[in-house]
Chains A and B, each alone.
Chain A
Amino acid sequence: MAESEILLSVKDLHAHYGESHVLHGMSFDVPKGEVVTLLGRNGVGKTTTMRCIMGIAGKRTGSVKYSGTETIHLSSNRIARLGLAYCPEERGIFSSLSVKENMVLPPVIKPGGLSLDEVYELFPRLLERGSSQGTKLSGGEQQMLAIARILRTGADMLLLDEPTEGLAPVIVSHIGDIIRTLREKGFTILLVEQNFHFAATVADRHYVVEHGQVIDMIPNESLAANMDKLKSYLGV
């Protein structure tokens, strides 16, 4: 991976929730400009890894470097201001805020993000529903909103936690289009997925996670050759 600059580097990351030890030395790199997935079964620590990177998990040790800056001891607001933006699995749409208010809630941390007009170009539906209460949107629209609102902050890297979960196929394929568009616009994306068929359509590389560790890395171009191995990892 020497040819491309590493934007996010996770080394020997451990995490605890109370008594339980959830991550057991996660290590992986995310090169700048790539879409990288964490694949794995339920409960192997993919979401916890995301939360650790954002600084919102319980106790964490090890090293998470973003653009060369060690973030393991930083609070989550400081981490966000380095240029990371987070779209949680539960989407985190605020019910006491309108769609428009949800959209502009994340503060702009530095120049270079999409303008509001560009965001609405990608998600025209959200403009129409601007004055609705955030949680009155359909599941797919809420997912769009959760992605849309982190595009205008100037963050360079997006953490998307299972953006396709529970959505209809037509919406899943729309989200695929969006992710490819965002990659072309220069965003670096870390994606948590259980659906590797979807992951294969958007990603440059896949890290396979099991028991709180990365056990394999498969570049997307050799995914077909490794399909049997991947299926045995994921138990499908």
Chain B
Amino acid sequence: MMTILGIPTQALFGQLLLGLINGAFYAMLSLGLALIFGLLNIINFSHGALYMMGAFVAWLALNFLGLGYWPALIVAPLVVALVGIIIERTMLCRLYKLDHLYGLLLTFGLALIIEGLFREGYGVSGQPYSVPKELAGGWNLGFMFLPIYRGWVVVASLVLCLGTWYAIEKTKLGAYLRAGTENPTLVQAFGINVPLMITLTYGFGVALAAIAGVLAAPIYQVSPKMGSDLIIVVFAVVVIGGMGSILGSIVTGYMLGLVEGLTKVFYPEAASTVIFMVMVVVLLIKPAGLFGKGA
């Protein structure tokens, strides 16, 4: 059997793949958080709950409407975006002029309520969601076995993240968004409907979370607490990358997934805490985060 640094390659690459998968989810979620924080000034603690809702919409659509995985990839983000838009229009929009803390508390409360509702309805045990048959099975790459679905998740998340990055950095719409993040008052005084832009940005951010939820459904089980398990790590990712930095959230997401995977290989005991150790070190050395501006 081949080994690298005394570790069987199968185990090493297997863990790296797991790390990459986790990183894909960290990146998609922290990207949405960064977008929302940038424009709305809201630390969206309900992001994890909306990710979970995305997975549940897929599961419900399959079990009650017979809608499969592929339609769910479209329907779930739309449903969750609608829920997000209602949250933004009825609640968040009242908080923009206040300190971040108020938005954080409100969305934290919402996360608990959403999670509680699903726990009430579906219990705490996870619901199975099977891999779509087009993506079942795997490839033997020689040095490791790659389940096709996991490869798909990595590719899909990369496409989503890079597509979003491109749209923000290179398009006219993205220029409005960047300008609105800097000085919304002036952008609105140029004739752009900034409140509408804010609402749609929130909708888009939580739709990304919902897509991540659907992608996650066949890998993890669909469970009411899948969001809260993930969101704490995602917040650490956001802090490490730099609050509000788009590229930072993407790169840091994948990077920390890999760091976590490697730690599982070399020192499994630290795997669940390594991200927080990185966070502490980054905060001490570069408080604005790796990609953050200033400070």
- Seen from chain A, the residues whose Cβ lies within 8 Å of a Cβ on chain B are 54-56, 75-77, 79-81, 85-86, 88, 92, 94-97, 101, 104-107, 109, 150, 153
Contacts and interface: CB of A to CB of B under 8 A. Distances in A.
A75 B188 contact: yes
A153 B172 CA distance: 15
A172 B188 CA distance: 28
A88 B186 contact: yes
B179 A107 contact: no
Contacts of B181: 96
Given A101-B175, A105-B176, A81 B182 contact: no
Contacts of B189: 54-56, 76-77, 79-80, 86
Contacts of A106: 190-191
Contacts of B187: 105
A109 B191 contact: yes
A77 B182 contact: no
Interface of B: 172, 175-176, 178-179, 181-183, 185-194
A94 B194 contact: no
Contacts of B186: 86, 88, 92
Given A56-B185, A76-B185, A96 B179 contact: yes
A79 B193 CA distance: 11
Q: Does more than half of chain A's interface fall in helix, strand or loop, or is it mixed? A: loop
Contacts of B179: 94, 96-97, 105
A105 B190 contact: yes
A107 B175 contact: no
15 contacts: A54-B189, A55-B189, A56-B185, A56-B188, A77-B190, A77-B192, A77-B194, A80-B191, A85-B190, A88-B186, A94-B178, A96-B179, A101-B175, A105-B175, A107-B191
Q: Shortest 8 CB-CB distances between A and B: which pairs?
A: A80-B191, A106-B190, A96-B178, A92-B186, A76-B189, A94-B179, A101-B175, A76-B188
A20 B30 CA distance: 41
Contacts of A101: 175
Given A97-B175, A101-B175, A107 B192 contact: yes
Nearest to B176: A105
Contacts of A88: 186
A94 B174 CA distance: 13
A80 B190 contact: yes
Contacts of A86: 186, 189-190
B193 A92 contact: no
A94 B183 contact: yes
A78 to B, nearest CB: 8
Interface-centre pick from B179, B185, B186, B187 (highest chain A CB count, 10 A): B186
A104 B191 CA distance: 13
Nearest to B183: A92
Contacts of A150: 190
Given A56-B188, A92-B183, A94-B183, A77 B178 contact: no
A105 B187 CA distance: 8
A77 B176 contact: no
Contacts of A85: 190
A96 B38 CA distance: 12
Contacts of B185: 56, 76
B188 A81 contact: no
Nearest to B172: A104
A92 B184 CA distance: 11
Contacts of B178: 94, 96-97
